[in-house]
């Protein structure tokens, strides 16, 4: 039986996943979507969040983080499973996971623009002592972030690599909500947001968006570095993020799975 998929948010990521579903992913079909500006590219109905969650088996969230709390009550009311790419919303709005506690819905957070979460998850079983993620983007990649606006930081004036922010993942999620999903995802996979340290760097010379993780325990240290070319459809996103959702869909339905 084919699982009917509903996509909430048909921006760069939502459309990339929709295209993959239309091209064909075994066991799934694209049933409907939600968007305030629906693209004309797909021959599907557009519903509000309530109707989307009622009519689809599985919801894929690809919305701005601040819209996620408007979607999740409908997911839980209909006890549907969901793939959430805006992981920072889980830190920014703790009520989402609190509401989830009373229902059978599963929330699946894909690796997004990050890699190495398999090792982090294994290390967690023995105990993680330290987790750090350093994100580096071109200065304008942080345009509009609350921390930039509140501190009147002139991004155009940054001419050499500069550390803009150091703090834990909760503080980082509030300061850079649209840019910091990777820190939220690492903290959820590892030792939690209070103990996950985040550094935000701006570098005019950098080619793509770079995320470096260092996660250590008594017997292992995991170091990972991902360089992502910005998504042409949304320079604040990475192509890898949409592909991580497609990878989750395939793994959820595969006879042999490498996690
Ligand atoms: N986990 C990760 O590593 C990772 C990586 C990249 C992006 N992201 C997150 O993924 C999300 C989607 O990214 P994107 O690049 O596709 O963004 P995008 O801005 O291209 O798309 C967002 C879409 O949501 C729609 N939308 C906005 N408000 C809405 C509402 N009230 N109801 C319905 N639709 C609404 C917009 O019209 C737009 O089409 C963002 O939250 C981004 O931060 C996560």
Each residue of 96-112: pLDDT tens digit?
A: 999 988 899 999 999 99
Q: How many domains does the chain have?
A: 2
Domain identity same for 38 and 125: no
Domain identity same for 123 and 210: yes
Per-residue model confidence (pLDDT) at position 177 = 77
Domain membership of residue 46 (yes or no) is: yes
**Cα–Cα distances in Å, from 27 out to 17, 59, 60, 98, 249?**
15, 15, 15, 31, 9
Task: For 58-90, write each residue's pLDDT tens digit.
Answer: 999 999 999 999 999 999 999 999 999 999 999
CB distance 117 to 185 below 8 Å: yes
Domain identity same for 105 and 138: no
Domain identity same for 72 and 137: no
pLDDT at 170 over 80: yes
Q: How far is the CA of 218 from the centre of ligand 1 (A)?
A: 38
User: Mean pLDDT score of the chain, rounded to an integer?
Assistant: 94
6 touches ligand 1 (CB under 6 Å): no
**Cα–Cα distances in Å, from 53 out to 26, 111, 174, 241, 249?**
21, 23, 28, 22, 18
pLDDT band at residue 113 under the 50/70/90 scheme: very high
239 touches ligand 1 (CB under 6 Å): no
Domain identity same for 152 and 212: yes
Can 211 be counted among the known catalytic residues? Answer: yes
Per-residue model confidence (pLDDT) at position 159 = 97
Range of the domain at 13: 3-109+240-252
pLDDT band at residue 229 under the 50/70/90 scheme: confident
Domain membership of residue 41 (yes or no) is: yes
């Amino acid at each position: 039986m084919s699982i009917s998929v509903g996509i909430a948010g048909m921006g760069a990521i939502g459309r990339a996943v929709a295209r993959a579903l239309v091209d064909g992913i075994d066991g799934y079909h694209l049933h409907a979507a939600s968007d305030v500006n629906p693209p004309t590219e797909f021959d599907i109905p557009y519903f509000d969040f309530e109707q989307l969650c009622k009519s689809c088996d599985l919801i894929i969230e690809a919305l701005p983080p601040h819209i996620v709390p408007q979607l999740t009550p409908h997911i839980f009311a209909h006890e549907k499973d969901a793939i959430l790419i805006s992981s920072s919303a889980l830190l920014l709005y703790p009520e989402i996971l609190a509401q989830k506690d009373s229902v059978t819905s599963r929330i699946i957070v894909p690796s997004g623009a990050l890699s190495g979460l398999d090792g982090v998850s294994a290390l967690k079983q023995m105990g993680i002592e330290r987790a750090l993620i350093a994100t580096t983007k071109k200065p304008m990649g942080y345009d509009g972030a609350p921390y930039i606006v509140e501190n009147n930081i002139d991004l155009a004036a940054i001419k050499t690599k500069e550390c803009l922010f150091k703090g834990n993942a909760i503080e980082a999620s509030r300061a850079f909500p649209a840019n910091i999903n990777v820190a939220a995802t690492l903290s959820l996979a590892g030792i939690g947001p209070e103990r996950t340290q985040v550094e935000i760097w701006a570098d005019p010379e950098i080619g793509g968006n770079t995320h470096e993780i260092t996660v250590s325990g008594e017997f292992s240290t995991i170091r990972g570095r991902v360089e992502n070319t910005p998504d042409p459809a949304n320079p604040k996103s990475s192509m890898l993020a949409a592909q991580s959702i497609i990878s989750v869909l395939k793994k959820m339905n595969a006879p042999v799975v490498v996690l």
